[in-house]
A and B are shown apart, each in its own frame.
Chain A
């Protein structure tokens, strides 16, 4: 299918919406739009961060997923207790592939699952005593754990346990940081509120108590905020910053530690990759400690170059020279990648549907490979994310917010993209429809995709998926037209 006009895309949205009952149709229409770069404010054309409709298949997660899975989970030297029934922790254990360095079970705990395993009696009589006992046990079994975070699951809020009180008493007893996080799954409309709650918990229980801690800072201290080190992303970003002469004093929260979080307010600049999940704490640090923050994008050479220069512009000439040196150094490397893969990927069309940042951040990387993003959407973005998306996307492309399973399938059937990038729940549906698919939440068990090193892997993965010979075998031999059919032997 060739380029769609604005009218065609609008007609497509109308057609897809037709099956819904009137009320649902009216509600869903607000979440689907045709991109128009002349619109300055996304609130004029799209509604976001609203409750999903009952009865549709939404792809969103919950506040617990946002807090434990995204923000807190990767902090490696803390024990994160999934406080409540056992399932929430177990089914989300290590799924996000936040890589880290350390001895698991000794000084790091990233891939382990700690839970208070609520039973009926805990629901009836309250789980505070059990929690206190768990904290003691953790303190005894894992003496090298620097702190504990208590990630509430739904029942904690429902029965009204006072986890803050337990945290305070036990923190005094053990002398360790214990953070109660009120991220019960039923809060908010998606994982987005979980991010906010987790940010607020970091503010109240980590950053504020650590104010005044001594730290030998330099002029070139920066932090990486909102990089979860999926498949090693933060490492691929960090080396670029260090090569240009900056000192990275904290990684939030991929391969991050409690001490790093405490030191963050002493940085000169906070570099924010995932705006959606960590803008709250960045804004707070700007206000309270005067640490400015800026967004950057390390997907694809064009965006990396832009970002490196923008970061360097905040510092003196030494760093500016450093940035140019880094850009120059990696140029042959990424040029070789583009030369190799661009001819194989040129002109391919991609549809994305990811969480809160990638639907706009990865566009540049696809464009560097000569590919075009024809539709994009977020699970849990807010309007400020869509403001930032409008300029990244071409005119008359599709934008969908909290897309339902049905809508996504219909869009794909009509737009016929060559590649889809979305999550694990969508993967097998589209593969069975015969469309190449990449799981863009955890890079389909590959990665890193950030930085110049990541770009090479990104390009290879896209080629590997798109040009896989299996897509030619979608039609069984006996259904192929013009070919001889088998004749039964006499």
Chain B
């Protein structure tokens, strides 16, 4: 259950950063992102998958959230 910092990079992509793991990857896909809620399984550019229960209303970035390994 890593604590994940989410922030936009210069290109406007969402970055997924886990300090303890030195993991900083772009989120390539999110299961639910329809304006009303945000979350589900996220896939990173290195192929890793994490899961978070959809949050409603969508969180404002940058923020820190707790993910599960998906």
Note all chain A residues with C-beta closer than 8 A to B62: 283, 286-287
List residues 1-53 of chain B with CB under 8 A from any CB of chain A: 5, 7, 17, 19, 22, 24, 46
B56 neighbours in A (Cβ, 8 Å)? none
Write out the residue numbers on chain B whose beta carbons fall within 8 Å of the beta carbon of A286: 7, 62
Kindly state the separation between the CA atoms of A283 and B19 in the bound complex, as whole angstroms: 10
- Confirm or deny: A146 has a beta carbon within 8 angstroms of a beta carbon on chain B: no
Question: Given A286-B7, A287-B5, A287-B7, A280–B19 Cβ distance below 8 Å?
Answer: yes
Is the CB–CB distance between B7 and A49 below 8 Å? no
CA distance in complex: A196, B20 (Å)? 10
A15 within 8 A of B: no
A383 within 8 A of B: yes
A168 at the binding interface (Cβ < 8 Å): no
Contact between chains at A49 and B22 (CB < 8 Å): yes
Interchain CA distance A175-B64 in the complex, whole Å:
32
* A98 to B20 CA separation, bound complex (whole angstroms): 29
Question: Are A196 and B7 neighbours in the complex by a CB distance under 8 Å?
Answer: no
A384 to B7, CA, bound (A): 15
Q: Is the CB of A384 within 8 A of B22?
A: yes
* Docked-complex contact B19 and A196, CB < 8 angstroms: yes
1/0 per position for A377-389, CB-CB distance to B under 8 A?
A: 0000011100100
A383: B residues at CB distance < 8 A: 22
A287-B19 contact in complex given A41-B46, A384-B24, C-beta closer than 8 Å = no
Within 8 A of B (CB), among A27-42: 41
What's the Cα separation between A49 and B24 when bound, in Å?
15
Report the separation of the CA atoms of residues A106 and B64 in the bound assembly, to the nearest whole angstrom.
42
Tell me which residues across on chain B come within 8 A of A387, comparing CB atoms: 24
Instruction: Give chain B nearest CB distance to A482 CB in angstroms.
Output: 56
The residue in B22, B24, B63 that gathers the most chain A C-beta atoms within 10 A of its C-beta is B22
Q: Please, which residues of chain B bring their CB within 8 A of the CB of A41? A: 46
- Shortest CB distance B9–A (Å): 11
B34 to chain A, nearest CB (A): 24
Q: Check if A283 sits within 8 Å of B17, measured CB to CB.
A: yes
Residue of A nearest to B61 (CB): A287
- Are A283 and B22 interface neighbours, CB within 8 A? no
Q: Are A287 and B63 in contact (CB under 8 A)?
A: yes
Chain A residues whose CB sits within 8 angstroms of the CB of B64 once the complex forms:
287
Task: State how many angstroms separate the Cβ of B49 from the closest Cβ of chain A.
Answer: 17
Determine the chain B residues whose CB is within 8 A of the CB of A196 once the complex forms: 19
In the complex, are the beta carbons of B46 and A283 less than 8 A apart? no
Write the nearest CB–CB distance from A194 to chain B, whole angstroms: 14
A-B contact pairs, 19 of them (CB 8 A): A41-B46, A48-B22, A49-B22, A196-B19, A280-B19, A283-B5, A283-B17, A283-B62, A286-B7, A286-B62, A287-B5, A287-B7, A287-B62, A287-B63, A287-B64, A382-B22, A383-B22, A384-B22, A384-B24
